[in-house]
Structure 1
Amino acid sequence: MHGLDRSLVEHGLALKPNARPVKQTPRHFAPEINIKIKEEIECLIKEKFIRTARYVEWVSNIVPVMKKNGKLRVCIEFYDLNNATPKDEYFIPIADMLIDSAAGNEILSFMDDYSRYNQIFFAEDDVAKTAFRCLGALDHLSTFDSIKTYLSQAPIMANVRSSELLKLYIAATGNTIGFMLAQDDENGNERAVYYLSRVLTDIETRYFPVEKLCLSLYHACMKLKCYMVAKSVKVIAQTNLVVKGQVITGFLVDNSKGLNDQGANIVDVEINYWKLYFDGSKHKDGAGVGILIVSPEGIPSEFLFELKYPCSNNVAKYEALILGLEILIDKGALEVQILGDSQLVLKQLSKEYKCNNETLQKYLVTAWELLTSFQKVSLVHIPRIHNEIANELAQIASRYWVRPKTLKKLSSIHQILVPANEREVLCVDEWEDSDWRKPIAHY
């Protein structure tokens, strides 16, 4: 559109300091009115008199006005915008000026309206305030063309080649996770093999970014295990995380069922860390803890302890963790993976949750002190269904769940008489032979 140069003059739209942007409620019109509005809007766009806009704060509605000749005039309802602009206290006597300037002349020129040479533009910062909504009338041709272009260039799925490395791309946003399995073809061009995404649940949206990436990896392994078993896979994430194929296959073995003989060619993964499963049980008749420790060689050891003092369910879980850590220290473990279904204990241990309970704070400090005895510690929150053994041991120790087949485990229950934060550490080796406590401690 022709008009005066912006460097020469331009309109400004001042707003009141306390004015808040308003988006008017959408209006709907009859189909025949929509057709005429569409024609008028497309004509204005073609002449570059208006333009499309996104992410605007002010949105007004169209007011169609039918003229006497049957044509439709598109007007904009700037009611809210007008209320947000300060009023001019000194009106310009435009009528008097027009009459005085036209007096004594035969012809009055309206060049500004007809030829558009003297149009004055709005300031760029104020253009978005004049945005209006045109539901059902404006055909976004450019958007439609971009969609057609994207669909015409959609990735074509390729077959997996046994001789090439697989690439697994994982990504996570605030509300979604996605992954794509790719592989290079014979020409070295990357081709997509499979891709998928899903929306996170309300609980999953509160995961940390790293946890969301792990969830994306888990989801990919479950969906693509038929592709990834016994093959080298390179995992590429937003954090530039690279994982060897042996780790992926080990992950599939631990989390897949019904693979039959597909795992026969899987390379063994060397594991040199201990696993500690813990749980606590508290009911009206007693409390107990259950501990399952798995050695690096895969040898499980079960421990049951009955708590002979009043405590809460969270205290019982902390007792299970502390007793498990003490057992691992006695066994000389240096690297440990702690697995439990108590999100409160694990999150407080990792300082993601704040501990406001004075009783639990004492147990938390004790657990932190024990963790300093290890070279490497990892905390893993698992569902209760994956912590069944420790949960069952805790229920047996608390006498909550005793069945005929579990009666033999009652004899292996040890009793804990005082809380962990009140127990003293007794070092028998440092006592003299004449100390009367040494024979008792040995006993």
Structure 2
Amino acid sequence: MINLGGENDKKEVKVGTAIKGDERMRLFKLLTDYVDIFAWTYQDMPGLDSNIVEHRLPLIPEYPPIKQKLRRMKPEVSLKIKEEVKKQLDAGFLAVAKYPQWVANIVPVPKKDGKVRMCVDYRDLNRASPKDDFPLPHIDVLVDNTAQHAFFSFMDGFSGYNQIKMASEDMEKTTFITSWGTFCYKVMPFGLKNAGATYQRAMVTLFHDMMHKEIEVYVDDMIAKSRTGAEHITNLQKLFERLRKYKLRLNPAKCTFGVKSGKLLGFVVSEKGIEVDPDKVRAILEMPAPSTEKEVRGFLGRLNYIARFISQLTATCNPIFKLLRKSQPMVWNEDCQKAFEKIKQYLQEPPILVPPVPGRPLILYMSVLDESMGCVLGQHDASGKKEQAIYYLSKKFTDCEMRYSLLERTCCALAWVARRLRQYMLSHTTWLVSKMDPIKYIFGKPALTGRIARWKMLMSEYDIIYVTQKAVKGSALAEYLAHQPIEDYQSMQCEFPDEDIMTLFDEEESINEEKWTLLFDGASNALGHGIGTVLISPKNQFIPFTARLDFDCTNNVAEYEACAMGIVAALEFKAKVLEVYGDSALVVHQLKEITFQHIPREDNQLADALATLSSMFKISQGNEVPLIRIQNRDQPAYCQAVEEEPDGRPWFYDIKRYIKDKEYPPSASANDKKTLRRLAMGFFLNGDVLYKRNHDMVLLRCVDAIEAKKIVEEVHEGSFGTHMNGHVMARKILRSGYYWLTMESDCCNHVRKCHKCQTYADNIHAPPTPLNVLAAPWPFSMWGMDVIGPIEPKARYQGDLSYYICLCLMNLWVVYWGNMMLLGRKSKQFII
């Protein structure tokens, strides 16, 4: 404590011991020079200028004025109210009200020192006032911006609301009644509906250029922050100058300057990070077990305020949450008591959270259970070796969400987490880490439908990258998993033919982009012999193959055949590195040059199902389908005729290179890289061909400018071209399975330049021509004729290759004639 006044007139303020030496002397001098910004009595408050801010009370016309009658009070309480009214009258806060339209009563609230706080019951007036939508700061954001600074100064306004004046026409609406008369406020009183919004608006007006930089403001609480002591004194001087200019006064009893840590809105901020207020933790630890619904809600409400510090809050307190159900009786059982004690034990050593550092990716650990989910958001420290927790989050699924599959629950949980942690994830790249989590397949799946497609669209604005966690190394993850019991873990069930997700291994390895994986299996039973293989690309694309063997063999021979078929398929896809997995120890241990690994049968379900299905498929003997001879080119046909782009790079070059090699353009900025990653989520690379994912589960092959020109010409005026308009032609090309960025505009431009369309097309402004029914006036007057043939094999009796078919349009009389050749004298005679 230091005294800013004389010996007889002490004016003390609190100063921390963190600032020492010359800087401490500079701080003492600064406080002495600006002693006028503090108010020790109501008379020291001149109030803010009305030109800057004043409080108004607009009313909804439908609400009539209400005058409350004087309530009865104890004489001693009435005398204390009289003393408080006299004090505020002397300070100039009150005026005598005559003939008011609105009258409210006093609600006395006892103080610790024996006095009473004079509160006014403005509930009737608040119902008639519209809501002021000026926002208050988010507490999480404000606390994050304040933490991890070296020096703090915590300040509070002296009777803050009373420093803002009421509009003269609205003073009478604040009238309250006492045994000593009716009075109205000349300054903004406590208890009004929009008082907090008005005060926050005034603070933003005064300090908008300093907020989130040198200071943080939440209504009447102000916090100055800095990295060094010299910087802190400079910031305080700038703040004091602003306070003196606008005549805003501080309460010296609630101010502390130059400290290393302090309480802020229920939390403790310091250079280490963010901690829970010990007083709030103590209040929870000293609570007895709740016995009524009101006490249960009070306990859960206290936990909810510090929920960002508690790992797996929803899963731990699930028995207590169930007590709030309408169908659940209020019985505090053993499960509730265990959850109650577990939360208390956890809060005895709560974690220290840190705000995120710009420029570093975030790490999101997430687990999904049957009834709830939990996650922790973290970030590496400056050394890159230790992880620090930022936010713990948990959620209880609704009854509808509990019926989702594991994949859908995971997507639902991730979408909810992204919305709750939006302020963090929008500004950072987020690494998603979740062991055995099917969410990683969603980012690379070509086409999605239903709820998963909608959730993926919501997540597309975030830069989320799935990262495999090989070992638990970070402290944030260790704390998170320590509070998740092992019995809560739920493995994923993979059942054929659900091909969305297939779990392969108990421990996942880092994805090698050059490595292909092969699973094979053979089946031999009484119905036949079949083989099945599943080829998995480096991008986790599952390519199944199955075949039925037309010769008798043992199960081991079928295993060899399945392995051989899978290796041939891998060679056709130009796989360079191949890992083969099978459940046959005989096959796996025969070869040494290729990596073969034996896995349990339950991990080889897809290949086993393919082999079993092919062995059960019946083929009728003697009715074989003739073989069709197909010549296979070394390259696809369209690649032979495609010319190079003028610059040698198509429009999808950067997207394709990123999907294939995870490479960015050389001069790409951070925003360009983020945009490229989001664009790449809408494309799918199969081999060397890039496809665009369409919303109706159709993959559209991406074409360059030369290919696009050839496609437009062929569709518009080729062999089957009908010279359609540009928009219809663009939709037809989409249905045919092709895509490029400027498809619709290119089609419209081509139609405008088409000579035949401009010459022979109908006038777009001409009315449509009426259609007439085609009818024959008498029998055999009008005929329809067509040719059928050549026919292979020839007709059984006559050996004719082709036929003329004639149909009378009047009575549908049919006449036909067949011959080896339709051209010649006999053909002319038949027609005549």
TM over 0.5: no
| TM-score normalised per structure 2 | 0.16
Larger gyration radius, structure 1 or structure 2: 2
Higher relative contact order (CA 8 A, sep 6+): 1
Report the TM-score when normalising by structure 1: 0.28
